[in-house]
Structures are given as structure tokens and as C-alpha cells.
């Protein structure tokens, strides 16, 4: 346990929280206060965008004195709350968190922690030096599916873990929107790699399943195969609604995805989050002109890979493989864990995993127990608000859940991910020497 986790808290009553970066993720976490004002109160907001600030002000009736455009403005004031929820963009996480940690705020930080190994370690060092509590938004730890799965592992139901196999399949419309046309498609613009932006959850789950045993070697491979200009179908153009001859039959048609269905409104339409709605003709005109989501998916500025495989070796000789696959028909997360006494296999979206054990009784070769978990419509399996509630306990110094993603244990998956990307770039396995780390 780190110094930041040992530090007690004198917080009584509702935890007072300031939103830093009033985007969709932080506003979702903040909405917990509407259901449980006795546990949490939103008392301020920091965001350079006036419409997002105004949206937060309206929702939480914030006074002018608690509304800021920059983190530096907040940090220049006396401490005004107990904690902050930081939901800024990946490349801004560390720079916006460090001044507030130094000021004495505890922190709920959206993942990934930062965009480089150096950034992540800097945040850790600052949090330790100032005795602050930092929790990372690994919401899948709180999804009932993974809570029950981890419980079975910790109880030794399948013995010692030998191998973990996980996979995340990113469906074609999500891939096209966020990782080809959108802000996460380009490393310079988005900050994070495909692996760290999309699979920070999965790397964390793997290291959570192996709690107490660290990865010591990482190898990874990946490429851009699908979304590049030389793979563009004959008849395609530069924009779906201006010069494309195959728009009507293309699964990536901007009109089909964003107008007809419609999907991904918070990504595609300016000010959607603040309640601004466009009519159909306004949407079509936007996609015809300067809206980046109207571009042909084979002619964008994306430079991240569209698939990647990662292999880990752990201190005890066990292994894990994670596969990230973009542009599948169906989005899903799968898991298959083999132990010395049995195996667990499941699919998050179905809310079911099975536990199998070898068994030669009565002519069979194994037994199988089916575990069904109610599936929430929340894309994170119902974990978002459970995470917030646990964070409030962290701030108050109360007993937390086994799911708690402290900065100290979240760093393990992050460092493994950064090393995986390094391996992919160089084509060489990367050794992780934990003796040289400060964590």
C-alpha cells in the first residue's frame, strides 16, 4: 500500500467534487450526485469551452466563483473541494492533474493515466510526495461480470492461473468513427495508441487477475491493414456525400451511420453533449462540407494500427494474450482463463461465463457450471456509478472494494501497454525490470 492510500481523511458528509473537463465521461460520473446528493456534491467546473462550462453550471447550479477556464485558475485559489473528477483528453491528463494534486485534491482520473511511461511515473511521484489518493477509471472492474469472475479466481476455483486469453472486438461503426475519422485515429492529435486508448481496460483486467504477480516480458505485433488509401474500393471518393460512387452500398457511409441510424452523436455533431440538435438537412450539409466524419474511411489521416496482438510472460511463468481487433461486425469482449484445476470462459456482452473442471465420472470428461450475470445497458457493464461510489469511500478513508483501481496497481497494466507498443514498433520482445521501477 502506498503512502497516498494510507493517508487518512477528515471528510464528513457529502464529498465535494469539481469537474475538470466537462465531457461525456466526467459528466456521466458526476451524474451520480443527482441520485445520491447525500454522498457527493458537484461544486465547481473547469473547462475551456464555454458551452460545456455553461452546461455544467445549469445542471449543478454552480456559482460564478466556482467556474474556471483553466486548471491553473483553480490551482491558484485556496482548496475549494475535496476531490476532482478529471475527464480531459488523454494528452491532458497528467498536465491538468499535477497542479491539483499539489494543491491537495484527491483525484478520480479517466484512463489512460497518461500518454507515455514517463508521464505516468511523474503523476505517481507527485501523488506520493503529496500524500494524495488517486483512483483510475477502470470501470470494467466494477461490471458485475468481471466482479464475479475475479471472485471465482480469488477463491481458487480453477487453481493457479496458467494462461489468460482476452479479446476486444471493436465493431466497424465504432472503429470508423473514433479510430479512423475521429480524435483517436491519429497519435499526434489524440495522444494515445490504439491499444492504450481502447484496451487500457483489458490490460488492467489481465494484471488484476494476476494480482501480486507482475509481467516480466512483453511482445506485440500489429499493423494498419484495412483503412488506408491503397485499399479503397473502386468508385469511392474523398467524402461520402460529395464524390463517392459506392455510398449507397458502403457500410461506412456517413449518411447511413450518422443520419439514418443515427450513431455516435456525441462524436459527430458539434455541441451534441450540450443539447444542440441539428435537423436532417443540417446534418447532411455538415457531412458534405467540413465535418471530418464525412470523410471516406480509406482516405483519412489515421496512423494508428487497426489490429494488434499482445503476449505477456509473468514472474511465475504464466502467460497471457490479448487481441485487439478493429472493424468487426459485432463488438464484444471475451475471456478464457486456464488454471491448474480448471478453466473459465465467457463473453461480457452476454453476461455469462462457464466454469469447467476435468471429471471422468459417469462417462463424461468434464463438468460445467454456468454463471449468469444480469447485463446492464451501460456499455461498461453497469460499472460507472459503482466506481464513483467506491472512489467516495477512498476519499473518506473508508474500506473499499476488491475492484479499487488505485494509481499504484493501475500503473502495472499501463507500463505493460507502453512496453507492448514499443515491442510492436521495434519487432523485439521487451523485458520489464521492476527492480528499476519506482512503483
pLDDT in tens, 14-60: 999 999 999 989 999 999 999 999 999 999 999 999 999 999 999 99
DSSP 272: T
State yes or no: cis peptide before 215, omega within 30 of 0.
no
Residues 6+ apart with CB under 8 A from 191: 89, 90, 91, 115
Q: What is the pLDDT of residues 205-256, one digit of tens each?
A: 999 999 999 999 999 999 999 999 999 999 999 999 999 999 999 999 999 9
Q: Residue 7 above 80 pLDDT? A: no
Q: Taking Cα atoms as reference points, which of 296, 303, 165 lies closest to residue 222? A: 303
pLDDT value at 8 more than 50: no
Report the alpha-carbon distance of residue 266 to residue 274 in Å, rounded.
9
pLDDT of residue 182: 96
Complete domains list, the chain, with CATH:
3-137 (3.40.50.720), 141-227+303-436 (3.30.360.10), 229-294 (no CATH)
Instruction: State the CB neighbour count (10 A cutoff) for residue 341.
Output: 12
Question: What pLDDT band is residue 379 in, cutting at 50, 70 and 90?
Answer: very low
Lateral strand order in the sheet of 67-68: 67-68, 40-46, 15-20, 83-86, 106-109, 134-136
Which residues are registered as beta bridge partners of 84? Answer: 18, 107
- pLDDT per residue as tens digits for the range 270-329: 888 778 899 999 999 999 999 999 999 999 999 999 999 999 999 999 999 999 999 999
pLDDT of residue 10: 66
Residues forming a β-bridge with 430: 218
Residue 272 is predicted with a pLDDT of 85
Hey, which residues does 83 pair with through a beta bridge? 17, 106
Report residue 383's pLDDT band, with 50, 70 and 90 as the boundaries. confident
Q: Determine what percent of the chain is predicted with pLDDT higher than 90.
A: 88
DSSP 35-70: H-TTTEEEEEEE-S-HHHHHHHHHHHT--GGGEESS
| pTM score of the predicted model | 0.92
Omega prior to 112 cis, within 30 of 0: yes
Sheet bearing 430-431, strands edge to edge: 366-372, 352-358, 343-347, 332-339, 161-171, 319-328, 307-314, 215-223, 430-431
Question: Which helix H or strand E contains 75, and what residues bound it?
Answer: helix 71-75
Which has the higher per-residue pLDDT, 423 or 409? 423
Q: What is the pLDDT of residue 378?
A: 54
- Work out the average pLDDT over 325-338: 97
Widest CA span in the chain: 74
**pLDDT tens, position by position, 127-162:** 999 999 999 999 999 999 999 999 999 999 999 999
Amino acid at each position: 500500500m502506498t503512502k497516498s492510500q494510507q493517508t487518512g481523511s477528515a471528510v464528513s458528509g457529502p464529498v465535494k467534487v469539481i469537474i475538470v473537463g466537462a465531457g461525456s465521461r466526467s459528466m456521466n460520473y458526476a451524474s451520480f450526485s443527482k441520485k445520491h446528493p447525500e454522498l457527493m456534491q458537484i461544486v465547481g467546473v473547469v473547462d475551456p469551452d464555454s458551452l460545456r462550462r455553461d452546461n455544467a453550471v445549469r445542471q449543478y447550479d454552480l456559482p460564478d466563483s466556482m467556474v474556471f477556464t483553466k486548471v491553473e485558475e483553480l490551482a491558484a485559489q485556496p482548496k475549494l473541494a475535496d476531490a476532482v473528477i478529471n475527464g480531459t483528453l488523454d494528452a491532458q491528463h497528467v498536465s491538468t492533474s499535477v497542479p491539483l494534486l499539489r494543491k491537495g485534491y484527491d483525484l478520480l482520473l479517466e484512463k489512460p493515466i497518461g500518454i507515455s511511461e514517463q508521464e505516468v511515473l511523474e503523476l505517481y511521484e507527485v501523488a506520493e510526495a503529496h500524500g494524495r489518493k488517486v483512483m483510475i477509471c477502470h470501470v470494467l472492474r466494477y461490471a458485475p461480470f468481471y466482479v464475479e469472475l475475479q471472485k471465482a479466481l480469488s477463491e481458487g476455483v480453477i487453481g493457479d492461473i496458467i494462461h489468460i486469453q482476452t479479446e476486444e472486438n471493436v465493431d466497424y461503426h465504432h472503429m470508423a468513427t473514433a479510430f479512423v475519422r475521429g480524435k483517436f485515429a491519429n497519435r499526434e492529435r489524440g495522444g494515445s495508441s490504439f491499444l492504450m486508448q481502447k484496451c487500457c481496460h483489458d490490460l488492467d483486467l489481465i494484471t488484476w487477475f494476476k494480482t501480486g504477480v507482475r509481467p516480466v516480458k512483453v511482445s506485440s505485433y500489429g499493423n494498419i491493414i484495412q483503412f488506408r488509401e491503397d485499399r479503397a474500393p473502386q468508385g469511392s471518393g474523398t467524402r461520402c456525400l460529395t464524390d463517392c460512387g459506392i455510398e449507397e452500398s458502403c457500410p461506412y457511409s456517413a449518411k447511413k451511420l450518422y443520419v439514418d441510424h443515427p450513431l455516435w452523436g456525441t462524436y459527430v455533431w458539434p455541441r451534441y453533449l450540450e443539447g444542440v440538435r441539428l435537423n436532417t438537412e443540417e446534418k447532411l450539409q455538415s457531412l458534405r462540407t467540413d465535418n471530418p466524419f464525412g470523410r471516406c474511411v480509406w482516405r483519412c489521416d489515421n496512423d494508428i494500427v487497426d489490429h494488434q496482438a499482445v503476449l505477456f510472460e509473468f514472474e511465475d511463468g504464466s502467460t497471457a494474450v490479448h487481441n485487439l481487433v478493429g472493424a468487426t461486425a459485432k463488438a464484444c469482449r471475451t475471456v478464457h482463463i486456464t488454471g491448474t484445476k480448471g478453466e473459465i470462459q465467457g463473453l461480457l456482452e452476454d453476461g455469462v461465463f462457464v466454469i469447467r473442471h476435468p471429471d471422468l465420472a459417469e462417462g463424461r470428461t468434464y463438468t460445467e457450471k454456468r454463471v449468469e450475470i444480469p447485463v446492464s445497458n451501460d456499455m461498461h457493464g453497469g460499472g460507472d456509478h459503482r466506481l464513483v461510489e467506491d472512489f467516495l469511500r477512498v476519499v473518506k478513508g473508508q474500506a473499499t472494494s476488491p475492484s479499487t483501481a488505485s494509481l499504484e496497481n493501475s500503473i502495472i497494466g499501463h507500463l505493460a501497454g507502453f512496453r507492448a507498443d514499443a515491442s510492436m514498433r521495434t519487432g523485439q520482445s521487451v523485458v520489464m525490470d521492476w527492480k528499476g521501477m519506482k512503483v
